Structure 1
Amino acid sequence: MDLDAIKTTVLEFVRANQELAPFALGLMTFAESLAFVSLLLPTMTILVAVGFVLAAADIPFWQAWAGAAAGAVMGNWLSYEIGRRYKKAAYDVWPLSRSPQIAARGEWFFQRFGPWAVFLGRFFGPIRAVIALIAGVFMMPGILFQAANFASASVWAFVILAPGAGLAHFLLW
């Protein structure tokens, strides 16, 4: 099977299942934003490629963006709640227990930037996996956390999908 046949097969599948695209993106960004899971499933490269596929399949960008942003919000929100509930005991759960330096870097980042850490942390790989959890551990006020969570998820979803979508429009039209 050649590359063109693979591309055609993938595009046909995505077009046939367009209504599931926002949901699938939401699940991917949920996993990417959830503490613990994010360390196991680095999906950033896949998400950029997905932007290209969605544009090539003529799925409206705003629908893909909304699904990606919603999943990212929910993943961080759950991580935050885990941190509030279990405090530093959450650091003892695998895979975080195997990489204590990630939690230490996340704590340093949070202490340095305060509420901005939640917004900025979403854009930095390993920090993204733990910053919401750490915000919960440090009892960041919920309203402040959610404001940073919603704002960062909206921008982050755009940033990860737009390059692929823009490239698709440039290359295909």
Structure 2
Amino acid sequence: MLDLHAYAREALSFVQAHAHYAPYVAFALAFCESLAVVSLVVPATFVLLGLGPLIAAGGVPLFPVWAATAAGAALGDTVSYWVGFHLKGSARERWPLSRFPEAIARGERFFHRFGTWSVFFGRFSGPLRAFVPLIAGMFAMPHILFQMVNITSAMAWALLLLGPGAAAVKALGW
């Protein structure tokens, strides 16, 4: 069984000891967090939440870490979108997606209900974040529209994860 607390502690300890790697770690975590299925087994959100205060306390500028987090999230969703776009309906029968039929069905209902907005709002929901970009690709959402919403939501999501912790550390003078 994967010990999520131990994983989070190790990742945060690494960043604390090697602050100059923070943007790379943030990129990798956000990328994994945004990939279909992979995001269900990589608890990156907790680590990214803890990264905000650490980078501020360590004197690492927020902008490069925020940009890397947003880029990783947008790229992860783009990969998921293209997988869905190329596999179309057969994605449901392919491993490992075939192991999550209810999650895909829930994502499809969300996508059909909210359309373009589902890509934006799905980013902020862990279970949906794993499947909405894939489903947007399966249903051939126009690529340029997907990317506009994908990049915008990735930038907002990254700021929401990193910003409050970094701002609190600065405000408290730690």
Instruction: Give CA-to-partner distance per residue, 1:46-77, whole Å, 9 cap, x none.
Output: 11001111111111111110000000010000
The question of whether the paired residues in 2 share the 8 Å contact of 1:32 and 1:42 is answered with: yes
Q: Confirm or deny: 8 A CA contact 2:15 2:22 kept in the other structure.
A: no
Q: Structure 1, residues 59-101: CA drift from partner, whole Å, max 9, x if none?
A: 1111110000000010000000000001132233444322211
Structure 1 gaps of 5+ residues are 1-5
Matches within 5 A, 1:91-170: 91-170=92-171
- Structure 1 position 14 matched with structure 2 position 18: yes
Give me the identity figure in percent. Answer: 46
Is the alpha carbon distance of 1:109 and 1:103 closer, same or farther for their aligned partners in structure 2, counting shifts above 3 Å? same
The 10-residue stretch of structure 1 (143-152 or 84-93) with the greater mean CA deviation from structure 2 = 84-93
- Aligned-partner Cα distance in 2 for 1:133–1:169: 38
- RMSD after superposition: 1.8
- For these two proteins, the number of residue pairs brought into alignment is 163
Match of 1:80 in 2: 81
Which TM-score applies when normalising by structure 1?
0.87
Cα shift at 1:14: 2.6
Counterparts of 1:135 and 1:49, CA distance in 2: 30
CA distance in 1, matches of 2:128, 2:39: 10
Rate the CA distance shift 1:56–1:10 in 2: closer, same or farther, 3 A: farther
TM-score by length of 2: 0.87
Distance in 1, Cα, partners of 2:40 & 2:15 = 29
Contact 2:15 2:25 in 1 (8 A): no
Gapped regions of structure 2 (runs ≥ 5): 1-9
Whichever residue aligns with residue 154 of structure 2, its letter is A
CA distance in 2, matches of 1:163, 1:140: 33
Higher mean alpha-carbon deviation, 95-104 vs 39-48, is at 95-104
Taking the aligned partners of 1:31 and 1:10, their CA distance within structure 2 comes to 18
Residues 94-117 of structure 1, C-alpha deviation per residue, up to 9 Å, x if partnerless? Answer: 443222111011000000011111
